[in-house]
Amino acid sequence: GAGVSQTPSNKVTEKGKYVELRCDPISGHTALYWYRQSLGQGPEFLIYFQGTGAADDSGLPNDRFFAVRPEGSVSTLKIQRTERGDSAVYLCASSLTRGARETQYFGPGTRLLVL
């Protein structure tokens, strides 16, 4: 089937604005992860879901960041009052089930630029 998809592929916004980033996981994958990747760095964990619930949100940098997965499939990462430091590539990944040994399959990412 199709891989992980993310929309939009690019997002330019102004400081202080609100943005939503969407992730469509591989069909049947119950675990979904969000990462942030800055230039020249590896992906940095933000939050992950098992089904509809956030199993671990310890990587969210502050309360401006929030993510939901209401029906256990599509997830939305929401960023309020964006700051220039939020500029990065936001990657989504899914795996068949929860567990660090499960292979994660990544989407192409959303490149966020906050002016």
Partner 1 sequence: GQNIDQPTEMTATEGAIVQINCTYQTSGFNGLFWYQQHAGEAPTFLSYNVLDGLEEKGRFSSFLSRSKGYSYLLLKELQMKDSASYLCAGADYNTDKLIFGTGTRLQVFP
* Chain positions contacting partner 1, by CB under 8 A: 4, 35, 40-45, 48, 55-56, 91, 98-101, 103-109
Separation between Cα atoms, residue 23 and residue 73, nearest integer Å: 9
Would you state the structure tokens that stand for residue 73, as one six-digit string?
A: 């499939």
Separation between Cα atoms, residue 86 and residue 71, nearest integer Å: 27
Burial class (CB in 10 A: 0-12, 13-18, 19+), 2: exposed
Smallest distance, partner 1 to C-beta of residue 111, A: 8
Smallest distance, partner 1 to C-beta of residue 101, A: 5
**Closer CB to partner 1, 2 or 14, in the complex:** 2
Would you state the structure tokens that stand for residue 38, as one six-digit string?
A: 């800055």
Smallest distance, partner 1 to C-beta of residue 35, A: 8
**Closer CB to partner 1, 36 or 80, in the complex:** 36
**Closer CB to partner 1, 16 or 61, in the complex:** 61
**Closer CB to partner 1, 87 or 104, in the complex:** 104
CA torsion angle for 52, 22, 104, 28 (degrees, to 10)?
A: 50
Smallest distance, partner 1 to C-beta of residue 84, A: 21
